[in-house]
A = this chain, B = another copy of it.
Amino acid sequence: MARWLVILAGGRGERFWPLSRMMHPKQFLTLMGNHSMIRTTRERVRSIIGPENTWVVTGKEYVEKVKTNLPDVPSSHILGEPVGRNTAPSITWAAASIYQRDRDAVILVLPSDHLIKYQKRFQKLADLALAASEERKGFYTFGILPTHAETGYGYIEHGAEVKQGILRVKRFVEKPPIEEAQLMVESGRFFWNSGMFAFRADEYLSAVERFIPDLFTGVNALMHDPYRTAGIFPELPQVSVDHGIMEKAQDVYVLPADIGWDDVGTFAALARHLPRNDEQNAARGHAIFVDSQNVTAITEGPVVSFIGVKDLFVVATKDAVLILSPDRSQDVRQVVQALKEGQHEHLL
């Protein structure tokens, strides 16, 4: 019974433009530390699962980038999706590929572009979830204690503790309206769903067969005839693993995870993690601050200078500069949209 890692790296995120580009999405960026997010994700579990037991599901166009970022992972373990069909097809494809090799496989699923501050704590929890998967049936999720009423996340309501550090899941709530989010956070009975999972491969595939039979059939066809990927994959049902499996399965558990987690979904989230000087300015790359406060600068090359400004977030690359109010980082897509409409796709 071996442990396997599945990294989900299909993101085509536009919220980090112009740092991220169509051909260089967030999981390949070095937002924090010295390595790309996907490489940091892989390194994070080195003590638990080796690269030879790692699988990556990504966009077809990113396969080479994944190889470059994770040279230790076997090429045959990098699955390139011709189109994105949400997380259930990605995980099922990887789980079926692993199951083909290891009937007793337990799998840890990790998104490729999240930040986790407390590595040791996370390693302990991942180990606990994998051990639990080995010992008993069930799907194991990692719950983050909410810090605010975020409407962009899924929530997990927990029930009773079944074992030290493992609670039963009562229900999932996907992206609630703000009022509901506030009530949930205040109740103290909800976690954020971090999108990380542990389970046995056979149990997961049985759940797919039961709850999303079209997906099960489709992925079986993929396994038998990999050369037909381009034809089969786009026809798979587009559904998330949360909605398609976790919300319906029995024996779903949550591990409270105080691990300094952040999905770094926007520039504002990223800004929170950068060290600041006395004037609350932060820089990644070469920046010069003159009489400026609360400015965040991220530059991939150009020197960025500020004189007498405050409350700005700035991203500079060789061919695009983005300057925004820190509370508007959800709206980067508006600029991306304007570039598309102006037929400036070469900048995306």
Contacts and interface: CB of A to CB of B under 8 A. Distances in A.
Interface of A: 286, 288, 290-291, 299, 301-309, 312, 314, 316-325, 327-328, 331-332, 334-335, 338-339, 344, 347
B307 A331 contact: yes
Contact of A328 (B308, B338, B344, B347): B308
Nearest to A338: B288
B328 A305 contact: no
Contact of A322 (B305, B312, B318, B322): B305
Contacts of A334: 290, 307
Given A290-B331, A308-B327, A318 B339 contact: no
A63 B347 CA distance: 37
A85 B284 CA distance: 42
A339 B302 contact: no
A214 to B, nearest CB: 41
Copies in the complex: 2
A314 to B, nearest CB: 6
Contacts of A328: 291, 307-308
Contacts of A291: 328, 331
Contact of A303 (B303, B304, B305, B320): B320
B309 A323 contact: yes
Q: Which 10 A-B pairs have the closest CB atoms?
A: A308-B325, A308-B328, A307-B324, A305-B335, A304-B321, A307-B328, A316-B321, A305-B322, A288-B338, A290-B334
A325 to B, nearest CB: 4
A302 B320 contact: yes
